[in-house]
C-alpha cells in the first residue's frame, strides 16, 4: 500500500513539473532554453531533479516540446512540421527538420505525392514510448525537382516515362502530343504538370529528348539531371559574361600589388581547364622564406546584384562528373578571364607568408594583386622534373618548395591534423563513352605540396580576421570552414570496429584530433588501411560552411576558411569580397552582414553535399558499366561490410564494390556475428570477417539499380575444421514432468 502511495505521489509531482515546463516554454515561444536554466526558473529541488529530467524526456517523446542539437528545449505548439524528405530505395523516408535532433520516419504508404528531397509538411502521429517519431506527409511545400530524367516508353494505349532514379517511385504519364516525338527507349527530360492525388500517376510533358540510352555521354548527363544540377547557364547569364571586359586599365591597377615580374607558376591536374592558384617562394635576407599564394580574383569580374552573381550563389560549387565539369561560372570566366594562364596578366588576390626556421608564420600580407604566371605545370610533370633532377631553370625553386612543404606536413601531423587518403579512380572512356579501364589515382608529393600551401593560406586568412577585429569577443563577421568534434556514440562504434579487426589502441574518454591521427598512422600500410579510413571518415562529422567559428577538428586548426578556389566555390568568392570590404572599411551593418553570411553558408553547404552525391553516383555508374564487361570473371578484393544478409566486397585497384548475398553462400550455413563483423560456417568453421582478402566471381549486374552481385569463391588456403561425431554436442533432453497426485 505504501509503495502504491509513493508511486502516486511521484506521478503527481511529474505531472505538476510537466505542466510547469510547458507553461514556461509557452511563455517563451521560439526561444530554446537549456535544462539547467529551466530547472532554475522552476526552482526544482535536488530530491526531485531525477523526476524533472524524466519529465523533460517524456515531453520530448510525446512531441510537446523539441530537443535541439545543442540539448536545448523549445515549445512545439503544433503537431505539423516542415522539413526535407530523404527517401530510401525501399520506399520509406525520413523528414529532416532543422533544429530537431531526431528525424521523422515516414512509411512508404504515407508519402502522399512527395519525392526524395522535396520540402514537405508532415503531420505527427502520437508517439509510442521508446519508438522513433513517425508521421505522414500532408502536402509538398516545394519540389526539389520539377524536371525528371528517365526512359520514354510507348504502348498501344498510352505513353509514360520511367524515372532513372529508384527514389522517384512513380512513372510519369505523358500525352502523345506532348512527347516531342520521342522514340520508345530514348532518354528524355520530362517536366511535372500536375500530381494532385497519390492514387493516380503524375502527369507531365517532355521538354528535351536526350538521345538513345547508349549514346555517348547520355548516361552522365542523366545523372546531372537526376540531381537537379543546372546543366546549362541561362541566356542572361551567358550574355552578361560575354560583356565582361578583358582589358586592363590604370584604374584596375589601383590598390593592387604589381607582381608581374615575380617568379610564380601553377600546378594543376593534366586535364584542368581553369587554374585558380599560383605559387611562389623567395629567400629573404633574414634567413626566412616568403611563400606566396596567388588566387584568381573572381570578385573583380563577378559583382554583387548581377545575373552572374545570382547564378554563382545558386550553384554554390562546380560539379566534377566522370566525363565533364558543370562549372559555377560560365566558361568565358572560368576557363579564360579568371584562369591564371601562363604568360598572361591576370588579376589575383595574394597572401604572402613569411615563414621562419621553426615554420611559424611570423608575418603576412594579404592584398589584391596582378601576376603573370611563368609556367603551367601538371602534377606528374612537376614531380618528374623534381625526382629525376631534370635540367630545368625552375628546379632550384621546386626543390625549396618540396623541402618546405614536407616540413610543414610533418609539423601539421605532429600537431594533430588527420591524414586521410581516400582512394580515387579515373576512367579511360572509349568513343562511345564506355569505360575500358579503371585507373587508381596516385597521390604524389606534388599534390601534397600544393595542398599544404593552400591550407596555410586558408588558415592565415582566417587568423587575419581575428587579428583585425576590435576585440577577441567581437570578431568581425566572416565565413569559415568548420568541422565539429566527433559524436561519442559514433566513436564508440568505431572503437568496437577496431577491436573486431584486432587493431591495438588505447581507449580514451575525450577524442582529440591528435589521438585520432595516431590511430590512422598505426594502420598505414596494413591490408585493412583503406577500409578503416573509410569507416573512420563515416564516423566523423561532415565539414560545413558557417558564420560561427568553432574550429576544424580534422585539421586541428582553430581558425580556417576557404580562400583558394573562387572559380569553383562560392564561399571563396565571398571571402575575397569580405577581405576587400574590411580593407576599405565598407561594412557598416555587422548584424545584416552576419545574417547574409549565414544564408551563404547554408546554401553553399547544401550545394556542396549535392555535388558530392552526384559525383559519387557518376563514378558508381561507370564502375557498374565497367564490371558488366567482366561477367563471370574472378577478382580479388577486401570485405568492406558484413551484414545479416551477406557481405560487401571492394575489389582491389578499381575499388568497385559488390554484394555477396547470403543465399549465394551455399558452401555452408553461416552464422552472423554483429559484434565481430564476421560470419562463421557452422560445419566447416570457415570465418569471413571485415578486412579479409577474398576471391570473388562477378555474377550479375543491374545498371538501372547500380547493383553488382558477386559469388564468394572458396579460399584455397583454408582447411575445414572437421568435428568428429563423438565430440559434437548432443541436444539436451527435455525432462518429463511427473504428474503430482
pTM of the model: 0.83
Report pLDDT for 738.
Answer: 41
β-strand partners of 149: 189
Predicted confidence (pLDDT) at residue 720 exceeds the cutoff of 70: no
Q: Compare 670 and 372 and report the one with higher pLDDT.
A: 372
The candidate with the shortest Cα–Cα distance to 620, out of 226, 273, 230, is 226
Please give the DSSP secondary-structure letter assigned to residue 334: I
Q: What is the mean pLDDT of the segment spanning 653-669?
A: 90
Q: For 563-591, what is the mean pLDDT?
A: 94
Kindly state the DSSP code that residue 298 receives in the 8-state scheme.
G
Show the cell assigned to 570.
562560392
Listed as own residue / partner, the contacts of 275-278 with beta carbons closer than 8 Å and 24 or more positions apart are 275/339, 275/340, 275/341, 275/373, 275/376, 276/338, 276/339, 276/340, 276/564, 276/565, 276/566, 276/567, 276/568, 277/340, 277/450, 277/454, 277/564, 277/565, 278/340, 278/348, 278/371, 278/373
Contact 461, 476 (CB under 8 A): no
Q: Which bin fits 578, alpha (ψ -120 to 50), beta or left (φ > 0)?
A: alpha
580, 465 in Cβ contact below 8 A? no
Q: How confident is the model at residue 22 (pLDDT cuts 50, 70, 90)?
A: confident
Does 412 score more than 80 pLDDT?
A: yes
Q: Which pLDDT tens digit goes with each residue over 266-288?
A: 999 998 989 999 999 999 999 99
Q: What is the 3-state secondary structure (H, E, C) of 83-114?
A: EEEEECCCCCEEEECCCCCCCEEECHHHCCCC
CATH dotted code for 2-75: 1.10.10.10
Residue-range domain boundaries for the chain: 2-75, 80-142, 147-213, 235-446, 469-606, 630-726
Return the C-alpha cell found at 673: 556475428
Strand, coil or helix: what is 582? helix
* 84-93, 336-345, 389-398, 462-471: least confident range: 84-93
Q: What is the mean pLDDT of residues 418-439?
A: 89
The residue-averaged pLDDT of 13-37 equals: 82
- The mean pLDDT of the chain is 88
The residue-averaged pLDDT of 713-735 equals 50
* Cα dihedral 328→241→576→541 (10° resolution): -10
- Decide which of 732 and 169 is more confident: 169
What pLDDT is attached to residue 728? 40
By the 10 Å C-beta count (0-12 exposed, 13-18 middle, 19+ buried), 599 is classed as: exposed
CATH architecture of residue range(s) 147-213: Beta Barrel (2.40)
Provide the edge-to-edge strand list for the sheet that holds 361-372: 257-259, 361-372, 345-355, 289-296, 277-283
Give 642-654 pLDDT, tens digit per residue.
999 999 999 998 9
Percent of the chain topping pLDDT 90: 57
Q: Which of 85-89, 299-303, 718-722 has the highest mean pLDDT?
A: 299-303
Residue 385 has pLDDT above 60, yes or no: yes
- Residue 107 pLDDT > 70, yes or no? yes
Asked if the domains at 147-213 and 630-726 fall in one CATH topology, the answer is: yes
pLDDT confidence of residue 2:
58
Which comes out higher in pLDDT, residue 83 or 23?
83
Enter the C-alpha cell of residue 262: 615575380
Paired strand residues for 657:
650
| Residue 408: pLDDT over 50 | yes
Task: Grade residue 724 by pLDDT with cuts at 50, 70 and 90.
Answer: very low
Continuous segment of H or E residues that includes residue 163:
strand 159-163
Residue 734's Cβ-count burial label (10 Å; 0-12, 13-18, 19+) is exposed
For 498-557, the pLDDT digits (tens) are 888 788 888 787 888 888 888 888 888 777 787 888 888 888 889 999 999 999 999 999
> Domain 630-726, what fold?
OB fold (Dihydrolipoamide Acetyltransferase, E2P) (2.40.50)
Task: Report the pLDDT value the prediction gives residue 6, as an integer from 0 to 100.
Answer: 66
CATH fold of 80-142 reads OB fold (Dihydrolipoamide Acetyltransferase, E2P) (2.40.50)
578-596 pLDDT, tens digit each:
999 999 988 878 889 999 9
β-strands 634-643, 646-651 pairing: antiparallel
Is the pLDDT score of 137 beyond 70? yes
Work out the pLDDT band at 7, boundaries 50, 70, 90: low
Statement: residue 219 has pLDDT above 60: yes
Amino acid at each position: 500500500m505504501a509503495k502504491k502511495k509513493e508511486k502516486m505521489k511521484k506521478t503527481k509531482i511529474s505531472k505538476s513539473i510537466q505542466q510547469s515546463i510547458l507553461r514556461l516554454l509557452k511563455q517563451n515561444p521560439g526561444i530554446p532554453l537549456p535544462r539547467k536554466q529551466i530547472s532554475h526558473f522552476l526552482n526544482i529541488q535536488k530530491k526531485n531533479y531525477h523526476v524533472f529530467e524524466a519529465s523533460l524526456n517524456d515531453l520530448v517523446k510525446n512531441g510537446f516540446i523539441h530537443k535541439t542539437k545543442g540539448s536545448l528545449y523549445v515549445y512545439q505548439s503544433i503537431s505539423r512540421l516542415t522539413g526535407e524528405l530523404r527517401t530510401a530505395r525501399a520506399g520509406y523516408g525520413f523528414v529532416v527538420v532543422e533544429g530537431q535532433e531526431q528525424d521523422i520516419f515516414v512509411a512508404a504508404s504515407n508519402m502522399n505525392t512527395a519525392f526524395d528531397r522535396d520540402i514537405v509538411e508532415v503531420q505527427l502521429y502520437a508517439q509510442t514510448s521508446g519508438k522513433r517519431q513517425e508521421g505522414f506527409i500532408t502536402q509538398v511545400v516545394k519540389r526539389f525537382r520539377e524536371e525528371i530524367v528517365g526512359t520514354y516508353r510507348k504502348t498501344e494505349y498510352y505513353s509514360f516515362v520511367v524515372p532513372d532514379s529508384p527514389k522517384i517511385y512513380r512513372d510519369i504519364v505523358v500525352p502523345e502530343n506532348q512527347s516531342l516525338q520521342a522514340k520508345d527507349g530514348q532518354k528524355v527530360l520530362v517536366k511535372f504538370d500536375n500530381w494532385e492525388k497519390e492514387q493516380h500517376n503524375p502527369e507531365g510533358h517532355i521538354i528535351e529528348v536526350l538521345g538513345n540510352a547508349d549514346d555517348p555521354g547520355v548516361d552522365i548527363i542523366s545523372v546531372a539531371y537526376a540531381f537537379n544540377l543546372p546543366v546549362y547557364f541561362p541566356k542572361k547569364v551567358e550574355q552578361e559574361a560575354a560583356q565582361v571586359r578583358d582589358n586592363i586599365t590604370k584604374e584596375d591597377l589601383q590598390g593592387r600589388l604589381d607582381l608581374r615580374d615575380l617568379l610564380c607558376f601553377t600546378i594543376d591536374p593534366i586535364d584542368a581547364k581553369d587554374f585558380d592558384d599560383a605559387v611562389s617562394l623567395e629567400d629573404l635576407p633574414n634567413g626566412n622564406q616568403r611563400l606566396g599564394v596567388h588566387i584568381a580574383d573572381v570578385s573583380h569580374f563577378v559583382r554583387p546584384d548581377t545575373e552572374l552573381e545570382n547564378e554563382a550563389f545558386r550553384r554554390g560549387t562546380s560539379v566534377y562528373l566522370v566525363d565533364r565539369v558543370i562549372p559555377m561560372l560560365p566558361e568565358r570566366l572560368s576557363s579564360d578571364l579568371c584562369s591564371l594562364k601562363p604568360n598572361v596578366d591576370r588579376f589575383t588576390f595574394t597572401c604572402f607568408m613569411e615563414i621562419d626556421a621553426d615554420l611559424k608564420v611570423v608575418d603576412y600580407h594579404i592584398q589584391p594583386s596582378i601576376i603573370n604566371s611563368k609556367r603551367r605545370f601538371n602534377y606528374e610533370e612537376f614531380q618528374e622534373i623534381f625526382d629525376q633532377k631534370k635540367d630545368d631553370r625552375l628546379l632550384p625553386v621546386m626543390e625549396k618548395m618540396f623541402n618546405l612543404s614536407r616540413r610543414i606536413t610533418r609539423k601539421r601531423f605532429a600537431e594533430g591534423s588527420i591524414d586521410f587518403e581516400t582512394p580515387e579512380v579515373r576512367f579511360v572512356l572509349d568513343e562511345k563513352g564506355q569505360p575500358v579501364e579503371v585507373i587508381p589515382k596516385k597521390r604524389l608529393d606534388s599534390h601534397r605540396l600544393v595542398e599544404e600551401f593552400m591550407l596555410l593560406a586558408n588558415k592565415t586568412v582566417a587568423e587575419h580576421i581575428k587579428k583585425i577585429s576590435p576585440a577577441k569577443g567581437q570578431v568581425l563577421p566572416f565565413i569559415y570552414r568548420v568541422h565539429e568534434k566527433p559524436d561519442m556514440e559514433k566513436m564508440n562504434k568505431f572503437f568496437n570496429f577496431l577491436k573486431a579487426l584486432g587493431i591495438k589502441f588505447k581507449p580514451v574518454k575525450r577524442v582529440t584530433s591528435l589521438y585520432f591521427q595516431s590511430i590512422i598512422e598505426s594502420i598505414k600500410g596494413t591490408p585493412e588501411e583503406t577500409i578503416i579510413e573509410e569507416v573512420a571518415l563515416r564516423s566523423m562529422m561532415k565539414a560545413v560552411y558557417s558564420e560561427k567559428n568553432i574550429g576544424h577538428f580534422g585539421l586541428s586548426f582553430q581558425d580556417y576558411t576557404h580562400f583558394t578556389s573562387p572559380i569553383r566555390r562560392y564561399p571563396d568568392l565571398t571571402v575575397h569580397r569580405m577581405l576587400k570590404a574590411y580593407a576599405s572599411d565598407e561594412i557598416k551593418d555587422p548584424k545584416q552582414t552576419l545574417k547574409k553570411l549565414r544564408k551563404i553558408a547554408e546554401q553553399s553547404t547544401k550545394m556542396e553535399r549535392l555535388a558530392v552525391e552526384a559525383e559519387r553516383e557518376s563514378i558508381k555508374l561507370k564502375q557498374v558499366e565497367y564490371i558488366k564487361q567482366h561477367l563471370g570473371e574472378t577478382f580479388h578484393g577486401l570485405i568492406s561490410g558484413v551484414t545479416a544478409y551477406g557481405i560487401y566486397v571492394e575489389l582491389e585497384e578499381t575499388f568497385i564494390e559488390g554484394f555477396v548475398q547470403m543465399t549465394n553462400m551455399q558452401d555452408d550455413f553461416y552464422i552472423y556475428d554483429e559484434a565481430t563483423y564476421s560470419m562463421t560456417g557452422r560445419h566447416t568453421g570457415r570465418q569471413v570477417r571485415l578486412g579479409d582478402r577474398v576471391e570473388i566471381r562477378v555474377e550479375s549486374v543491374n545498371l538501372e539499380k547500380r547493383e553488382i552481385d558477386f559469388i564468394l569463391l572458396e579460399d584455397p588456403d583454408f582447411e575445414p575444421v572437421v568435428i568428429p561425431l563423438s565430440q559434437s554436442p548432443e541436444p539436451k533432453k527435455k525432462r518429463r514432468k511427473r504428474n503430482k497426485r
